[in-house]
């Protein structure tokens, strides 16, 4: 852990910590939470060109097969935002009698683009990767704008942030050169697969090779499980960022069923389907489905690139010539290619993105991806539920049912509880440093003191202006509730478990006017290793439904 909770101290405005399960029997209030779901919709014609000029009345949205009203409509055409047609959402505070507020909440525009270039070095061949990079650099330099935020990450058995979010796309384009010198593991997988294909071809009986195919599939399954876990972890970290998020995933593909082609090879060679009984043990479809559901929940679209391009059949390679059953290799190759491409196609289709496959030139495909970024429709609606934790399916269609028109969008989302949303936003603040502070929070860090175990005790104070809080008058007190979230990350990227503390604030009625000029102070002592840490704080006003997120770099033990 980078951070451990030690002790808490509270000061100001008669604050009281509440247990998580406390319903507050002596303090009842009801908050009206507004849940707005934004769906980016890409409409293209037969030639793949964007269809422009549509209005809100042209669209229909269904959630779980039931029509919902479009309350927000935003249009971007060739990078130029059009005047959106919106329906005002009532301020939730106005619906709670007796609540005092100093200002109304701000609802931000959520149309900023965050592009994540994700290079999967573990599942790619260096030659293929570097060939894609040539077109990718041109795409970054020519198609993005200074208002877009781009970051570069790579995966090689572990996830590494090569460059954090920046609007200087040239920095990211240049950083790709550093990755060109890295090794890729795809070559080793090719060699092992060819050896197994030849052994299957030369085997006298099924049992001689079937156990080796199972071992091979088990090894692949372990590798792809780590690959998908890293992807899921990264997609999860993006959940708290407001705006559109696109993940450009560069790899040579992933197998949906590990070793499927070799199981088919054994079955075809010996005319025996017994090998298929083990094959489904290595199917990762459900894991990929969970990944896409998380991406949809976090408003992340996958744009996937099969860097292998136009694949050459194994049977055409020199070292596979002379097989006693050459037709075996041709059939197995077709299974292999389909199996490798289906996951990256599924990831794109389910999240409203695009998959670039079967090409050795990616410039045209990347140009079409760029059109998604600068020409789209954003449809917003308010579902009847809030935070029910369920996954809800989304369908968007045109009312006039035009022929030859394709509509892409994310296929659903999980309606996360408030606590999960706050946790995601605090984590994103920690990871990426983007702050949102309508409550004017302040953070004070005290002097760290060394402990007997080599770590340091660091006192911090979170200050919340009382004038920014919604308070309910009740008898002789004005009462409010906030929830504080905090986490830390050290220089090596290790993060602490996210902590959360619900708090009740009580201010005597006679002191309320003076209190509005002061801050409620929550103090906590943290145990931290020496060195530089980033600390992120999230605070939610439970009555006013307002949230703030701030971060601070803390140098522990340096003084």
Phi, psi of 80 (to 5 degrees): -110, 115
| Position 503 in a domain | yes
The domain boundary residue, chosen from 340, 362, 384: 362
pLDDT at 236: 93
Question: How do residues 349-385 score in pLDDT, each as one tens digit?
Answer: 999 999 999 999 999 999 999 999 999 999 999 999 9
Say whether both 491 and 545 belong to one domain.
yes
Q: Indicate the residue among 362, 387, 403 that finishes a domain.
A: 362
Say which residues have a Cβ less than 8 Å from residue 32's Cβ, sequence separation at least 6.
90, 92, 95, 96, 545
Quote the pLDDT of residue 451. 81
- Least Cα distance to 189 among 123, 239, 277 occurs for 123
Token digits of residue 380: 């917003």
Does residue 420 lie within any of the structural domains? no
Task: Tell me the CATH number at 193.
Answer: 3.40.50.410
Clarify whether residues 292 and 388 are in a common domain: no
* Contact status, residue 367 vs residue 143, Cβ threshold 8 Å: yes
Q: Are residues 347 and 475 in the same domain?
A: no
- pLDDT at position 13, please? 43
For residue 344, being part of any structural domain is answered with yes
pLDDT at 242: 87
How do 406-408 and 85-86 pair as beta strands? Answer: unpaired
Q: How confident is the model at residue 110 (pLDDT cuts 50, 70, 90)?
A: confident
Structure confidence at residue 11 (pLDDT): 41
Contact between residue 121 and residue 155 where contact means Cβ atoms under 8 Å apart: yes
Together in a domain, 55 and 176: no
316 lies in the same domain as 448: no
Instruction: Specify whether 51 is located in the same domain as 15.
Output: no
Once rounded to an integer, what is the mean pLDDT over residues 263-281? 88
Q: Is the pTM of this model over 0.85?
A: yes
Helices (H), 50-108: none
Q: Mean per-residue pLDDT for 73-98?
A: 62
Return the pLDDT at 327: 53
Query: How many domains is the chain partitioned into structurally?
Result: 3
Residue 124 pLDDT = 94
Closest C-alpha among 184, 183, 202, 205 to residue 194: 202
Per-residue pLDDT reduced to its tens digit, 472-487: 998 889 999 999 999 9
- Look at residue 246 in the predicted model and tell me its pLDDT: 98
Name the DSSP letter for residue 125: -
**526 compared with 91, residue with greater pLDDT:** 526
Q: Which long-range contacts (CB under 8 A, 24 or more apart) does 387-392 make?
A: 387/33, 387/35, 387/415, 387/416, 387/417, 387/418, 387/421, 388/415, 389/414, 389/415, 389/416, 389/417, 390/414, 390/415, 391/293, 391/297, 391/415, 392/63, 392/64
**Angle CA(124)–CA(125)–CA(126) in degrees, nearest 5?**
115
Are residue 202 and residue 337 in the same domain, yes or no? yes
Name the more confident of 112 and 25: 112
- Our CA dihedral for 221, 223, 225, 231, rounded to 10 degrees, sits at -150
Are 92 and 164 found together in one domain? no
From residue 50, alpha-carbon distances to 33, 152, 352, 410 in Å are 35, 28, 14, 17
pLDDT of residue 474: 85
pLDDT score for 391: 97
Please report which confidence band the pLDDT of residue 57 belongs to, taking 50, 70 and 90 as the band edges. very high
Confidence band (pLDDT; 50, 70, 90) for 23?
very low
For residues 428 and 233, what is the distance between their CA atoms, to the nearest angstrom? Answer: 12
Of the chain, the percentage scoring pLDDT greater than 70 comes to: 85
Q: What is the mean pLDDT of residues 239-256?
A: 95
Question: What's the average model confidence in pLDDT over 291-316?
Answer: 89
Confidence of residue 295 (pLDDT cuts 50, 70, 90): very high
Q: Are 472 and 479 in contact (CB under 8 A)?
A: yes
What average pLDDT does the segment 111-134 reach? 94
CA separation (Å) from 424 to 101, 246, 463?
Answer: 26, 17, 22
Report yes or no on 419 lying in a domain: no
Q: Is residue 44 within 8 Å of residue 410, measured between CB atoms?
A: no
CATH at residue 492: 2.60.40.3880
**Given strand 412-414, what is the order of strands in its sheet?**
66-68, 59-63, 391-398, 412-414
pLDDT score for 102:
44
The rounded radius of gyration (Å) of the Cα atoms in the chain is 27
Q: How far apart are CA 547 and CA 105, in angstroms?
A: 9
**Mean pLDDT of the 219-239 span:** 95
Q: Has residue 280 been placed in a domain?
A: yes
The DSSP 8-state label assigned to residue 49 in this structure reads P
Q: Residue 178 half-sphere exposure, CB side, CA atoms within 13 Å? A: 11
CA atoms of 464 and 466, how far apart (whole Å): 6
* In-domain check, residue 288: yes
What is the C-alpha to C-alpha distance for residues 170 and 156, in angstroms, rounded to an integer? 24
Residues 196 and 292 in one domain: yes
How far, in Å, are 18, 22, 114, 465, 533 from residue 451 at the CA level? 29, 34, 41, 33, 18
Residue 39's pLDDT band (cuts 50, 70, 90):
very high
The tens digit of pLDDT for each residue in 157-201 reads 899 999 999 999 999 999 999 999 887 666 778 888 989 998 998
In a domain, 368, yes or no: no
Task: State which of 343, 362, 381 marks the end of a domain.
Answer: 362
Same domain, 101 and 123: no
Residues 92 and 128 in one domain: no
Residue 467 and residue 434 share a domain: yes
Q: Is residue 399 part of a domain?
A: yes
Nearest to 455 by CA among 485, 429, 490: 490
Determine the structural domain holding residue 451 and report its residue range: 3-32+425-556
Average pLDDT over the chain, rounded to whole? 86
- How many whole angstroms separate alpha carbon 258 and alpha carbon 223? 10
Rounded Cα gap, residues 117 and 69, in angstroms = 35
Residue 439 has pLDDT above 90, yes or no: yes
């Amino acid at each position: 852990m980078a951070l451990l909770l030690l002790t808490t101290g509270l000061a100001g405005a008669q604050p009281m910590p509440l247990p998580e399960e406390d319903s507050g029997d002596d303090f009842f209030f009801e908050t009206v939470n507004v849940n707005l779901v934004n769906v980016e919709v890409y409409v293209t014609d037969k030639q793949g060109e964007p269809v422009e000029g549509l209005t809100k009345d042209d669209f229909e949205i269904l959630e779980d097969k039931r029509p919902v009203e479009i309350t927000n409509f935003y249009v971007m055409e060739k990078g130029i935002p059009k005047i959106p047609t919106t329906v005002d959402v009532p301020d939730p505070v106005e619906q709670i009698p007796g609540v005092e507020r100093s200002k109304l909440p701000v609802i931000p525009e959520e149309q900023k683009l965050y592009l994540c270039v994700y290079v999967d070095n573990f599942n790619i061949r260096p030659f293929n990767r570097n060939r894609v990079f040539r077109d990718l650099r041109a795409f970054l330099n020519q198609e993005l704008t200074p208002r877009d935020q781009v970051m570069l990450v790579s995966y090689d058995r572990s996830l590494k942030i090569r460059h954090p979010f920046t609007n200087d796309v040239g920095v990211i384009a240049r950083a790709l050169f550093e990755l060109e010198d890295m090794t890729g593991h795809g070559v080793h997988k090719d060699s092992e697969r060819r050896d197994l294909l030849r052994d299957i071809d030369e085997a006298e009986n099924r049992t001689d090779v079937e156990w080796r195919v199972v071992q091979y599939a088990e090894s692949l399954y372990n590798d792809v499980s780590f690959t998908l876990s890293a992807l899921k972890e990264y997609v999860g970290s993006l959940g708290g960022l407001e705006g559109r998020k696109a993940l450009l995933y560069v790899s040579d593909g992933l197998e949906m069923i590990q070793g499927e082609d070799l199981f088919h090879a054994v079955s075809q060679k010996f005319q025996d389907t017994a090998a298929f009984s083990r094959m489904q043990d290595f199917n990762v479809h459900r894991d990929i489905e969970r990944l896409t559901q998380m991406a949809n929940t976090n408003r992340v679209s996958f744009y996937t690139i099969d860097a292998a391009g136009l694949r050459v059949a194994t049977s055409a390679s020199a070292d596979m010539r002379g097989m006693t059953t050459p037709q075996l290799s041709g059939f197995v190759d077709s299974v292999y290619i389909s199996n490798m491409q289906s996951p990256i196609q599924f990831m794109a289709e389910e999240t409203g993105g695009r998959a670039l496959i079967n090409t050795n030139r990616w410039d045209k495909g990347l140009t079409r991806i760029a059109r998604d970024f600068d020409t789209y429709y954003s449809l917003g609606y308010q579902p009847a539920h809030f935070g029910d934790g369920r996954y809800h399916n989304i369908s968007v269609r045109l009312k006039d049912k035009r022929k030859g028109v394709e509509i892409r969008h994310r296929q659903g989302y999980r309606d996360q509880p408030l606590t999960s949303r706050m946790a995601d936003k605090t984590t994103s603040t920690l990871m990426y440093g983007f702050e949102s502070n309508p409550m004017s929070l302040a953070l004070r860090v005290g002097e760290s003191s060394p402990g007997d175990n080599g770590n340091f005790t660091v006192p911090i104070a979170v200050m919340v202006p009382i004038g920014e809080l919604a308070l309910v008058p009740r008898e002789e007190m004005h009462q409010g509730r906030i929830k504080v979230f905090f986490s830390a990350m050290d220089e090596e990227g290790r993060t602490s478990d996210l902590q959360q503390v619900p708090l009740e604030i009580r201010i005597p009625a006679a002191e309320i006017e003076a209190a509005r000029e002061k801050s409620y102070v929550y103090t906590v002592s943290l145990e931290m290793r020496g060195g530089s840490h980033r600390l992120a704080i999230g605070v939610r006003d439970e009555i006013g439904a307002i949230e703030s997120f701030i971060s601070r770099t803390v140098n522990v033990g340096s003084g």
